[in-house]
Amino acid sequence: MALTTEKKKNPMDEEKNIDTTENPEPMSLMTQRQATLIEQKMNNGNGHGHGCAAMNGSRTNNNSSGGGDDVIEWFEQVSKNGGSVQTEILSQILKQNHGAEYLKKWLGYHNIQEMDSSALESLFTSVVPISSHEDFEPFIQRIADGDTNPLLTQQPITTLSLSSGTTEGRQKLVPFTRHSAQTTLQIFTLAAAYRSRVYPIKEGGKILEFIYSSNKFKTKGDLTVGTATTHYYASEEFKIKQQQAKSFTCSPDEVIFGGDYKQSTYCHLLLGLFFSDQVEFITSAFVYGIIQAFRSFQELWCEICEDIRVGSLSSRIKSPKMRKAVLEIISPNPILASKLENICKELELVDWFGLIPKIWPNAKYVYSIMTGSMLPYVTKLRHYANGLPLVSADYGSTESWIGVNVDPSLPPEEVTFTVVPTFSYFEFIPLYRHMQGDYKSIVADDFIEDKPIPLSQVKAGQEYEIVLTTFTGLYRCRLGDVVEVVGFYNGTPKLSFVCRKKLILTVNIDKNTEKDLQLVVEKGSQLFLNGSKKAELVDFTSYADVSIEPGHYVIYWEIDGYAEDGLLEACCTEMDASFADHGYVVSRKTNSIGPLELCIVERGTFKKILDYFIANGAALSQFKTPRCTSSNHVMLNILSACTLKKFHSTAYNNSSTH
Ligand code: AMP
């Protein structure tokens, strides 16, 4: 999408530019029967969103969960009536935005204001087509260019969010409204309430948050563009969250909005250490952010301790605003500096095992998104955490929040997300891996699809693609994520995240997703870790090389430590043999796909990739290492230039050619 990208010199000056004038209509989500109990909890009266008052900051609460039992009681009721709440939510979205150009095309002749919610749901799902982000791009482009007509929503859109683009290969623009910030506050409050039941934290404590805002841009039509997390950190709701929880992030705004992630990381670490006894938990949006910060810490700790000793700030920090803000907080503390230095010296000897509880003795848990493409970083996090609970954060996207983790004690491998039925209208496209039964299905990617169904009709054990209709003007828009319904919480589904739907590795008839690659790399790295005591796999990605015949898969590994060539070759063979996809196995046996290639890249290669994405507008808070490089030549060039060694699989060497 072509945008006018005037880079803001000083993001701090612009960060309060989000539209907060928009006032979503008061809404009634419940039927009369349910209303009495829930009405007090829902935010009907103040016209600020779609949920419990405690979640929207309209009342303060002494409970450190920031709404605590009220919020949970509200969610208990809402989740019991998932199906009917969804019908009401859809009706609200459509009635609010009736007449918007996109909807007019499909609903133009219907008098929907007078329609009963169930009839409206049937009408909507029968006349409005399933769409994808591309269908909304012409409208979003017009909005970006300054067209103020009601195109997607009745309320003017003044802010746009950039999706990370690291999973799809390109960044998407998505409308961001006050409602987006409110639902972020709501899900954080709700998740905090469930967390505090299992892991209570001390009121007045600090949170070490590795959070980063991206740079903002202005479009031709003067709309502010930034990542969704950037807009949220700049919103009133972020302040309300801190006040409700009575826990404040260690870093001031000037660090979060510093615009240079290396300088911000240094300051987050410095302040996290300065307040080390007060830190109640450690967090980042995606766990990659925590790993990245602690890897930096392993190199920077001497300098950080010195800053604590004398109350100074390293010359690495160039931003005057950041310098001023941090120097106003810290003061010389030689006792703390010596204590931390001794701990770090001991930690160095054990490869930083148990770093978190040693340095932050009062931390109760680590909280971050650890599922999906983040799962490979959990091994390293466990190393740093030495048994401290790892709490997996919630499920959402730039388009909409989706589900909350109501079982915080579950390990990341088992975590599920309970759909919050007030956030958007959710539909589910059943997906089948292979032809089963005689569905009237269309084939897309490697999945066979059935007709979309509403939330009330999903079944446990079935995989689905999520489709969203949002308050921000997306109607029946595919999200591209595959989830499995693993059960129900009251009357709303619990989802486990499976993978992005898009295939990442395919040469001919073979079909492998991000999840398939992840499983294969897990097997290879297990062999690697067993065979080389002190080495570790830092990160990985892949590429389907069809430039030579036969095409083959290339997997790139960055490793830390030494490993014998024989071991790496065995890992390569193990990974090749571990792809279970039938198309791949058959193709390998017949050599229509060549042997898998493992490329070992030099240390720091994935940091270069991160820097490349950040330089192109991604925010560290939302960064996810792309697991395939096919559409990104710059990334492929970095990987090629940094390749130190190549190995080829010997799996299938003895297969017959037929
Ligand atoms: P973005 O578009 O940059 O906001 O990224 C959103 C995408 O991140 C989602 O569509 C998912 O693919 C992924 N994601 C978000 N939350 C989770 C989660 N809890 N577990 C796994 N993947 C997630």
Q: 227: Cβ below 6 Å to ligand 1?
A: no
**Atom 5, ligand 1: residue with shortest CA distance:** 397
Q: Ligand 1 pocket check: which of 167, 187, 426 to mutate, most ligand atoms within 8 Å of Cβ?
A: 167
**Residue 220 in tokens:** 């031709």
CB distance 568 to 528 below 8 Å: yes
Count helices and strands in the chain by DSSP H and E runs? 22, 24
Q: 371: Cβ below 6 Å to ligand 1?
A: yes
* pLDDT score recorded for residue 10: 32
* pLDDT score recorded for residue 27: 30
CB distance 355 to 345 below 8 Å: no
CB distance 145 to 4 below 8 Å: no
Calculate the alpha carbon distances from 562 to 112, 506, 529, 647 in Å: 67, 31, 11, 16
* pLDDT score recorded for residue 216: 79
* pLDDT score recorded for residue 445: 55
CB distance 401 to 477 below 8 Å: no
Closest CA to 649 of 542, 576, 579, 556: 576
Q: What is the per-residue pLDDT across 372-411, written as a single tens digit (0 to 9) for each?
A: 889 989 999 999 999 999 999 999 998 999 999 999 999 9
**Residue 180 in tokens:** 């987006």
The whole-angstrom separation of Cα 324 and Cα 316 is 14
Going by their DSSP bridges, the two strands 279-286 and 365-369 should be labelled as parallel
Q: 398: Cβ below 6 Å to ligand 1?
A: yes
Tell me the DSSP string of 229-294: HHHHHTSHHHHHHHHHHT-EESS-HHHHT-S-HHHHHHHHHHHHHHTGGGEEEEEEEETHHHHHHH
**Atom 21, ligand 1: residue with shortest CA distance:** 372
Q: E-assigned strands of 375-459?
A: 390-392, 395-396, 401-404, 417-419, 425-432, 442-444, 447-449, 453-454
Calculate the alpha carbon distances from 32 to 25, 38, 94, 559, 567 in Å: 19, 10, 21, 60, 67
Cα end-to-end distance, the chain, whole Å: 47
**Residue 66 in tokens:** 């920031």
* pLDDT score recorded for residue 146: 94
Ligand 1 centroid, distance to 535 Cα (angstroms): 29
Burial class of residue 40, CB neighbours in 10 A (0-12, 13-18, 19+): middle
Tell me the DSSP string of 606-645: HHHHHHHHHHTT--GGG----S--TT-HHHHHHHHHHEEE
The whole-angstrom separation of Cα 629 and Cα 633 is 7
The whole-angstrom separation of Cα 248 and Cα 271 is 12
Ligand 1 centroid, distance to 187 Cα (angstroms): 15
The whole-angstrom separation of Cα 501 and Cα 428 is 13
Q: Which residues have a Cβ under 8 Å from the Cβ of 530 and sit 6 or more positions away?
A: none
pTM: 0.83
Ligand 1 centroid, distance to 341 Cα (angstroms): 37
CB distance 290 to 356 below 8 Å: no
Q: 65: Cβ below 6 Å to ligand 1?
A: no
The whole-angstrom separation of Cα 377 and Cα 293 is 13
Q: What is the per-residue pLDDT across 27-48, written as a single tens digit (0 to 9) for each?
A: 333 333 333 233 333 333 333 3
Ligand 1 centroid, distance to 372 Cα (angstroms): 8
The whole-angstrom separation of Cα 574 and Cα 593 is 16
- Cβ atoms within 10 Å, residue 409: 15
Domain ranges for the chain, please list them. 13-176, 202-393, 413-500, 514-653
The whole-angstrom separation of Cα 220 and Cα 316 is 35
The whole-number mean pLDDT for each consecutive block of 10 residues of the chain, a chain of 658 residues, reads: 32 33 32 31 36 46 54 95 97 95 90 93 97 95 95 92 65 88 91 95 92 85 88 83 79 91 96 97 94 95 98 97 97 98 97 97 97 91 97 95 97 97 98 56 65 98 97 96 96 94 82 90 92 87 90 95 92 96 88 94 95 84 84 89 97 67
Ligand 1 centroid, distance to 551 Cα (angstroms): 30
Q: Ligand 1 pocket check: which of 180, 390, 483, 497 to mutate, most ligand atoms within 8 Å of Cβ?
A: 497
Q: 112: Cβ below 6 Å to ligand 1?
A: no
Q: 574: Cβ below 6 Å to ligand 1?
A: no
Q: 403: Cβ below 6 Å to ligand 1?
A: no
Ligand 1 centroid, distance to 650 Cα (angstroms): 36
* pLDDT score recorded for residue 1: 33
**Atom 16, ligand 1: residue with shortest CA distance:** 395
